[in-house]
Structure 1
């Protein structure tokens, strides 16, 4: 059964990526109203006779959401049936299921009632956390099957705190990026990395869209620098742990690609494929951070158990 669970978790994780990218595609192509204000039907029909481009994008996204939702429901059922004794696995499975339902409801509410740009920006963030839960569940299942060796990784307290901090900060950067997309501020500044031509009189002359764009760039730049510093520190202290060591190098590579494709969005005047890759890399980057958080929480629990045992012996 573990093999079946592993295969299903891999499929679910892979399918989460087009789900996330599909949401970005809906926004970037202006397809959010492709089915009008009808949900789960489209223009009040199961399958409209005349399908426009925007309607096709919206219907495709809803279809992928439904398929991924069913996969996660089945995966959660199997986890509860076979591994209910493992609290970590059960928690991740039900977290993924709950978040999947939540992001679907937010998407439905946006279609039926409409929401502000600030509220819509949270939709991608929730989907990102859902992806992280599914991704961690997959890794946990591989660990149970002795295919991934992370049991011996012990992360120091100061490093754990920094991992938590950069993960929380990353969510803020993700929110600012989603806000750029939902407020149509992508090309508010056609220069990079600064916003020179758009504001010849200085920062005080920025309009709202330029503030949104430049705020995101600043936040992303700080995240890039922070990741470089943290990666150097982590590979230095944990070079004996191959999984942890190479995971940090992968994480640094992902944030580097994220920054490069963010710049390419401006240079290519919002090329659709470039924008989707931009969303893909931040998704994978956050997935890696969630892996580090998971190991940090595990280390903390292990330390508490050791302290408890020491007190018992005394």
Structure 2
């Protein structure tokens, strides 16, 4: 069990590097750092010409490949050791499936030129892979009795709220990825409006500006939904440390997400802040996924009564 815990933590942290590495590739324009060949760079085992873009792209490929091996080992070991837990086998399959899907989409983007709207799916797939691995890790620690979530029952109306918030979050994540892939990060020089001196002057917006402002509007709505859901669930489940602590953390993460989103514009796309922005939404979605898992348990319990 000790090995499984260490391996699950390593896989989760490694997936954080995969996610931020993918964001780094996009934000630094390093997607073509290895040319149009995959998995080799420019068709060479040892590249003859080293550029910063090549180093970033190749590093991302190496980290992703290494994590693929670790995730497969984790999935097999979890299946064998704690496969009796209801969700483990499905999560083991999903963690490997979506990691492979992520790699194939990344490879296709390198070998064949892809539409920006298709490329934006890549981050969403990576997010599902990360969430699956994070949930496996939480289940490992739950089995080891590091915290108690089995006794928690979430009411149906609150389960529906969690499901809806999670689906909407995924759509907002897609819109954010679309902003990056269409290079629309800095098409609006002001915040929160594209032009604070004329906020309603929409007639001359370019496609990129509509994408940027669409993402800001969607993110603003997400903040309001997450805020109201957090306050309601914290109030209704004061007896549960898992619900109370989890939703306080969710509220903190969505607040930080809004702050870093504004700072990206105000700092003219500071790379560190941009990567932190991608990391925070990944953690936010991962936590929501855990509450989806807990909600599904409550729904199963309700059906059996």
TM-score bracket, shorter-length normalisation:
over 0.9
Which aligned pairs between 1:251-266 and structure 2 lie closer than 5 A? 251-266=250-265
CA contact 1:199–1:205 (8 Å) conserved in 2: no
Structure 2 residue aligned with 1:76: 75
CA distance in 2, matches of 1:196, 1:27: 26
- Aligned equivalent of 1:113: 112
1:185 alignment partner in structure 2? 184
**Structure 1 residue 206: Cα displacement:** 1.0
Corresponding residue number in structure 1 for 2:20:
21
2:47 & 2:168 partners in 1: Cα distance?
A: 43
TM-score, normalized by length of structure 2?
0.98
| Deviation of the 1:19 alpha carbon | 0.4
User: How far apart are the structure 1 equivalents of 2:203 and 2:48?
Assistant: 51
Equivalence for 1:309: none
TM-score w.r.t. the length of structure 1 is: 0.95
What SS class does the counterpart of residue 187 from structure 2 fall into?
coil
Match of 1:155 in 2: 154
Alignment of 1:205-216 (within 5 A): 205-216=204-215
For residues 157-191 of structure 1, what are the alpha-carbon distances to aligned partners after superposition, in whole Å with 9 as ceiling and x for unaligned?
A: 00000100010000000000000000000001110
- What residue in structure 2 maps to residue 274 of structure 1? 273
Query: CA separation in 2, counterparts of 1:5 and 1:231?
Result: 32
Match of 2:7 in 1: 8
Q: How far off its partner does 1:86 sit?
A: 3.0
Deviation at 1:200, TM superposition (A): 7.7
Q: Distance in 1 between matches of 2:268 and 2:287?
A: 29
Match of 1:134 in 2: 133
* Cα offsets for 1:97-150 (capped at 9, x unmatched): 000000000000000112110000000001001100000000011111111210
Q: Matched residue pairs, number?
A: 305
SS of 1:34's equivalent? Answer: coil
Equivalent position of 1:312 in the other structure: none
Q: Which residue of 2 aligns with 1:34?
A: 33
Counterparts of 2:81 and 2:178 in 1: how far apart (Å)? 41
Deviates more, 1:279-288 or 1:200-209: 200-209
More displaced stretch, 43-52 vs 286-295: 43-52
**Structure 2: gaps spanning 5 or more residues:** none
